[in-house]
Amino acid sequence: MQERFTVENTFFNTTGTNRRLLIFVRNVGAEEANIVAIYVNGVNFGTTGSGGTCNVPVTIPVKNACEFNVNFQSLSPSPKTGDTLYVIVASARGNRATYTVRIYIPGT
Amino acid sequence: MRICRNRKAVSSMIGGIIVLTLFLSALSVMVFISQQYDSYQSTVETMNRKDIDAFSENLAPVYPGLYFNSNQTETQGTCNPYCYQYVLYISNDAAMGTQITRIYINSTDTRPYSQGAAGQAVGCGNLCSFDSSSAPQPFHFLASSAFVNPSEFSHQLIFYTNNTYTLPCSQACGAYGLNSVAIVTSRGRVFSFQWPFAPTGVATVSYLTTGILQIAYLGSGNPGYASTNEPAAVSRGSGGTSVAGIYCHSEPNATKIATGSAYGTLWFVNPWATWTIFKDAFPLTGANHTQFFAVVKVTNNQGGPIVITRGNMWLQLTVPQTQNNPAPGSMVILTVGGPLVGTYYNGAFTFAGSQTTVASLTSVLLVYRINIWSWVGNTQISQVPSGVTFSGMATMTNDQEGGGTTAYFSGTSILDGLYVKSGC
């Protein structure tokens, strides 16, 4: 009930063949948030690679933010500019924050 | 007998005690449950209140949005040797204070803050995030300026980059929307805007207003944008040499319209405005085509018409386009091209001399309508069946006023927009 977290920003890191999405999650509730899963278009990717400050599962203290680095290259069909990514960040208590973002990949 | 009477009294007392015990037990349980419920309700109400507070937040950027001066550097704190200082101007339209916890800036262009300043071409192309700091620090904002009072107008939040990062167009390059700024509050709200702000009026001589939308162009100046890379797709501003305060195309054949006689080249640049009156005034015929309209402002009626006598390429003027006796001060709209298919880039035009004059130094505005097509850059990505028309506008998501054909449209619809000028 006192758990509140939001996806406050996203950023594409699509250099070369990279297809990574940085997801910034902030705990704005009154209790720590235990993030256990991140879904992109229904697929639980977890977090991979460098560039992020957190990997799931992770506990975000109150008022703090985490940066997750999600590699969505394996999405099928292959993601391209204009596609929509529907991101769900889920906590152990069953709460979730959602975010919708459109892909922009230079050259695609 | 006495014993019997005493026993009766004992049983009554025992019974009373039992009843009292039961009553007290029930009462204590009720109190306990009540307390638990109160605690639950209190927590629910507290969180609801927090949610309401969050939804009540309302920050809005105010002109100039961001302010930057290359001489405005900070050497204190961890700014070594110095940091560039920016000021973010925001207003709090809510009746409650708001604490800013982070700022994100993403630049879609990495040109120098001033196009004439070499060596400063580092924008936040890889996303910059600014956190709170009690002292000046690269990529932080001052904590002392992070709280925006209720109903405070034009609050100044100070933040710093390092001594190499400057945001594109920090010093009036004439473009706009090159930086996406997101302001995150402690309650979890995000307020974002594009900077520099899009112009809402014409810089020099005139402007057009239609309904809720003002259509504008940047007027005279020292154009520095070389169009030599066009019509190949180029990033907005690339290929430019210098800009003094404005952005516009520098066309070798373009001339300012100083009298009734003028000629020049109209260019197809990215749409950044909509003009829906053309949907009514000039209905689209058929599918898969683009219509173009030239718009000039009339200053003097000499008894003659406004005429466009010649065109080539996509202008395709085989018959002079004429509007008789336009009233001074009016805006004249002439069809100059279409229906056409595909991408068309530029074409020459001529306004006949000795006719009704148009405003001195006025640029020719070209208004376009695109039916059916959907584009990414200059690549057609989809086409709807012939005969199908759409209402509503496409969504512009990138480079809203760039040069060349780097516009990124999503969706298919009728696009009504302002296109080109000559004689910047």
Q: Over the stretch B184-227, which tens digit does the pLDDT of each residue have?
A: 999 999 999 888 776 543 333 233 322 222 222 222 223 323 33
| Helix residue spans in B228-289 (DSSP H) | 277-281
SS (H, E, C) A14-72: CCCCCCEEEEEEEECCCCCEEEEEEEECCEECCCCCCCCCECCCEEECCCCEEEEEEEC
Residues 6+ apart with CB under 8 A from B40: none
pLDDT of B101 above 50? yes
User: How many A×B Cβ pairs under 8 Å?
Assistant: 55
Confidence of residue B3 (pLDDT cuts 50, 70, 90): low
- Has residue A73 been placed in a domain? yes
- Has residue A107 been placed in a domain? no
Site from B104, B124, B132 to mutate, A interface, most A CB atoms within 10 angstroms:
B104
Site from B47, B103, B406 to mutate, A interface, most A CB atoms within 10 angstroms:
B47
Nearest residue, CB atoms, B47 vs list A1, A22, A82:
A1
Token pair recorded at residue B188: 């979890």
pLDDT for residue A91: 93
Residue of A nearest to B41 (CA): A1
- Has residue A49 been placed in a domain? yes
pLDDT for residue A71: 84
CB-CB contact of A68 with A22 (8 Å): yes
User: Quick check: B376 and A102 CB within 8 A?
Assistant: no
Question: How many CA atoms lie less than 13 Å away from B183 in the CB half-sphere?
Answer: 28
DSSP B237: T
- Cα A25 to Cα A14: distance, rounded to the nearest angstrom: 20
B127 touching A, CB under 8 A? yes
Q: Which residues of A touch B182 (CB under 8 A)?
A: 8-9
- Cα A80 to Cα B178: distance, rounded to the nearest angstrom: 22
User: Quick check: B46 and A30 CB within 8 A?
Assistant: yes
Choose the most confident range, by mean pLDDT, from A28-42, B61-75, B169-183, B284-298.
A28-42
Token pair recorded at residue B33: 């449950």
- Has residue A27 been placed in a domain? yes
CB-CB contact of B111 with B167 (8 Å): no
Q: What is the pLDDT of residues B315-364, one digit of tens each?
A: 445 555 666 666 665 666 666 555 443 333 344 455 554 445 554 444 44
Q: What is the CATH number of the domain that holds A65?
A: 2.60.40.10
- Has residue A45 been placed in a domain? yes
pLDDT for residue A21: 86
- Cα B125 to Cα B122: distance, rounded to the nearest angstrom: 8
End-to-end CA distance of chain A, in Å? 43
CB-CB contact of B272 with B198 (8 Å): yes
Q: In terms of pLDDT, which residue wins out, B7 or B178?
A: B178
Q: In terms of pLDDT, which residue wins out, B284 or B391?
A: B284
Q: Which residues of A touch B54 (CB under 8 A)?
A: 28
- Cα B201 to Cα B360: distance, rounded to the nearest angstrom: 17
Q: How many residues does chain A have?
A: 108
Choose the most confident range, by mean pLDDT, from A95-99, B200-204, B245-249.
A95-99
Token pair recorded at residue A100: 């919708």
End-to-end CA distance of chain B, in Å? 125
Distances (CA, A) of B414 to B182, B402, B420: 30, 20, 18
Residue labelled with tokens 């700024």? B181
Distance from CA of B188 to the nearest CA of A (A): 6
Site from A15, A81, A89, A101 to mutate, B interface, most B CB atoms within 10 angstroms:
A81
- Has residue A80 been placed in a domain? yes
CB-CB contact of B369 with B389 (8 Å): no
Choose the most confident range, by mean pLDDT, from A94-108, B14-28, B221-235, B237-251.
B14-28
- Has residue A22 been placed in a domain? yes
Token pair recorded at residue B21: 């015990």
CB-CB contact of B113 with B169 (8 Å): yes
B42 touching A, CB under 8 A? no
Q: What is the pLDDT of residues B381-412, one digit of tens each?
A: 333 333 323 222 222 222 222 222 222 222 22
User: Quick check: A8 and B50 CB within 8 A?
Assistant: no
The CB density around residue B250, as the number of other CB atoms within 10 Å, is 16
Instruction: Classify the phi-psi angles of B406: left when phi > 0, otherwise alpha if psi is within -120 to 50, otherwise beta.
Output: alpha
Distances (CA, A) of B367 to A11, B219, B370: 34, 17, 10
Token pair recorded at residue B347: 């074409």
Cis peptide before B168 (omega within 30 of 0): no
Token pair recorded at residue A20: 């990574």
* Residues spanned by the domain of A48: 5-102
B398 touching A, CB under 8 A? yes
Site from A1, A7, A8 to mutate, B interface, most B CB atoms within 10 angstroms:
A8
- Cα B58 to Cα B379: distance, rounded to the nearest angstrom: 39
| Burial label, B20 (beta-carbon count in 10 A; 0-12, 13-18, 19+) | exposed
Residues 6+ apart with CB under 8 A from A74: A43, A45
User: Quick check: B54 and A65 CB within 8 A?
Assistant: no
User: Quick check: A81 and B376 CB within 8 A?
Assistant: yes
Which H or E element spans position B2?
helix B2-56
From the list B158, B154, B156, the residue with the least C-alpha distance to B135 is: B158
pLDDT of A34 above 90? yes
Nearest residue, CB atoms, A2 vs list B47, B126, B127:
B47
Question: How many folded domains does chain A comprise?
Answer: 1
Residue of B nearest to A62 (CA): B186
Question: How many CA atoms lie less than 13 Å away from B217 in the CB half-sphere?
Answer: 27
User: Quick check: A104 and B397 CB within 8 A?
Assistant: yes
Residue labelled with tokens 């919708």? A100
* Average pLDDT score over chain B: 59
For residue B185, the SS3 value is strand
Q: State the amino acid at position B189 in one-letter form.
A: R
User: Quick check: B182 and A81 CB within 8 A?
Assistant: no
